[in-house]
Homo-oligomer: A and B are copies of this chain.
Amino acid sequence: MDLRFTDEENAFREEVRSFFRDNLPDDIRAKMIDGEHLDKPDFVRWTKILNAHGWGVPHWPEEHGGTGWGPMKQYIFLEELQKYPAPQPLAFGVNMVGPVIYTFGNQAQKQRFLPAIANLDDWWCQGFSEPGSGSDLASLKTRAVRDGDHYVVNGQKTWTTLAQYADWIFCLVRTDTAAKKQEGISFLLIDMKTPGIEVRPIVTIDGGREINEVFLTDVRVPVENLVGEENKGWDYAKFLLGNERTNIARIGVSKQRVARIRELAALEMAGGRPLIEDERFREKLATIEIDLKALEMTQLRVVAADAKRGNTGKPDPASSILKIKGSEIQQATTHLLMEVMGPYAAPYLPEHDARWNEPSEVPEYAPVAAPNYFNNRKVSIYGGSNEIQKNIIAKAVLGL
């Protein structure tokens, strides 16, 4: 047992930090600190910088452009990226469909898609959820019927994040309606420019326009865009969903937000002195910090176990803890950040409005706080709600 980072790991952390300092455009960093949504060009610009440095897809196999870093370095990279803060590479390509393609796809698919994911030349979105499916993902209804060299796809996907920017969507579709619900599903890659695809925004309660519905009407998809075998899509989906361990807890994001709370609570006054000097406020922040420090160690235990055993690709049920506590902490931080604002949490600035254009007493950092709190209610819902995570632990870990 050795509970300290190695010298090599510490040096690597420094290398990563200075790369971010030297290379992330200031305007992008400022948006992230302010809690604003990034535009597509922001993501693209930054991803190309990372990729040019060879860090576009750190955790991929080296043959596909990965770095060869072990789990601990991957974790350090991500944590520093989140803490700086810098945008994370787009998960739908880099973390989701990319690994599915290099693991289950054919050679042509690998060549066509992987480099374009790493460089964000292709923007991917995810077509899993449907209006009726929710936590019961396998109940999906979107049909794909073989017609010569094509599948004809009809159905509706929802909660499709950033589909408005997407060039491609990876979809779970039902190719066999007679089979058991998990066994008739296939995994298709669909060009968003194909006729019959319509994207409609879903505005979220914070006023954000991140998510969409995607309607598919007689969409013709070439059979070469099937990944792996027909009716085996559920296996690939499970692989994909189990692949997110190093990111799910979002330690770096929460650390950055804790630092932000501390910074802004020094600017807001309560009872004639900075809020950060209020004992009760400090205790609330310290409570979060303790939880976060413990979760960081939990995350490192999972990462270290990965590193020792080699990545089996199989999810550790204990990683459900990372999801549960990670989301609780994110929600606690966004709530506390809103509390920092006091009455200034109330003004609402729609996302794409101009900045306040008259002198005002409302601090510029205040209006995003409540929307961020509202928006972060999603983190205990998506990716398997916290209730589902607890069911998983009860069954897989406790044997109940």
A residues near B (Cβ < 8 Å) are 279-280, 283
Contact = CB atoms under 8 A, between A and B. Distances in A.
A280 B279 CA distance: 9
Contacts of A280: 279-280, 283
So how many copies of this chain end up in the complex? 2
Main secondary structure of the interface of A (DSSP, over half): helix
A283 B280 CA distance: 9
Contacts of A283: 280
Contacts of A279: 279-280
Nearest to A278: B279
A279 B280 CA distance: 9
A283 B283 CA distance: 13
A283 B279 CA distance: 12
4 contacts: A279-B279, A279-B280, A280-B280, A280-B283
A226 to B, nearest CB: 43
A279 B278 CA distance: 11
A298 to B, nearest CB: 27
A280 B282 CA distance: 12
A287 to B, nearest CB: 12
A281 to B, nearest CB: 12
Nearest to A279: B279
A165 B266 CA distance: 64
A188 to B, nearest CB: 39
